[in-house]
Amino acid sequence: MRANAILRTAVILSCLAVPFSASAQTPQRVTGTTVTITPPTGFTPAKDFAGFADEKTKSSILIAELPPEAWPQLSALFGSIDAVRAGFKSKGIEVATLDKVPTASGEAFLASGTQTAAGTKLAKWVALAQGSRTVMITVQAMPAAKLDDAAIKTMLKTVSLGAPPSEADKLASLPFKVAPSAPFRVLDTMGGTGVAMTVGEKNVDPKGEQPLLIVSSQVSGGPVAGIDPAVVAKTLLKQTKEMESAEIDTEKKVSFGGSSDGVLLEGKAGENKRFVQYFATGPKGTFVRLVSFFPADRNGELRPAIEKVAGTVAFK
């Protein structure tokens, strides 16, 4: 991943306002992750992300896993109340407390606070645990959920971290279909909503030297059906980190994700880099996007593989 990508990805995942798809009180393995957990009353497995949702109160529990190499950086973020406050403040989360909570797989950090979204103040908890993966558990609760620190700590005590799922299981847990194509290989899935692929031996790429390809589905905001797909695609591109000044030199309508109204954007992604982005809106009005960044001199080598990966993407 690119410089500081691990920390940036973790903070972003903890801040997502996820769609709510709600009351089994038994331990449940979260599909596509190492996590087994007993959710609070009212929460059932989510359909569009890794975790649980309470449809009645519009509250969620998001499970996000990162490589084991992420632990030193993220545990440092949770190392003090001042550090965790600074780390999440830019994302609109006001952290009030920082604790450590025992789980079935060891001690976990727990930051609690609030976040305001669409004019509503939400209760927010972000937990960090270490197993074979680095695990973040983010709880976002509307006022009607009436969750408190005691309920979250009770839930965390049930957390058990097992062996990593297979690549096939992780891909199968995504809300869309996708398959890698050589020379791209799967790095990991992200919060049950996306997958990252790369070309090269490094699993952590702080200098951003290796080609990167990400396929992700919409995890926040309302449906985009009815909005010009090209406008949404360009907006998403400009909102992507380090792509604010991307130069588009190709724009055309393509088939993508099972839609004949997909949009393909290509262009320059900084000095000696290029990007390719596919975008499409699905039958539920939400979107799926593929974006890849790579050295410009590898365009001829990688473009066919990117097209092959794009050809496998389909809404479920």
CATH of the domain at 222: 3.40.1000.10
Q: What share of the chain is helix, strand, coil (3-state, %, to 5)?
A: 25, 40, 35
Report the candidate in 165, 172, 180, 176 with the shortest Cα–Cα distance to residue 213: 180
pLDDT in tens, 95-140: 999 999 999 889 999 999 999 877 888 999 999 999 999 999 999 9
* Peptide linkage before 183 cis (omega within 30 of 0): yes
The CA distances from residue 299 to 40, 81, 89, 263, 312, in Å, are 49, 45, 39, 19, 20
Q: Same structural domain for residues 177 and 155? A: no
Q: Same structural domain for residues 193 and 51? A: no
pTM of the entire predicted model: 0.71
Domain, as residue range, for 283: 167-315
Does the structure show a pLDDT above 50 at 12?
Answer: no
Asked which of 161, 188, 217 is the last residue of a domain, the reply is 161
Q: Same structural domain for residues 132 and 62? A: yes
d(CA 138, CA 151): 14
Q: Same structural domain for residues 176 and 154? A: no
What pLDDT is stored for residue 207 in this prediction? 80
What domain count does the chain have? Answer: 2
Asked which of 115, 145, 161 is the last residue of a domain, the reply is 161
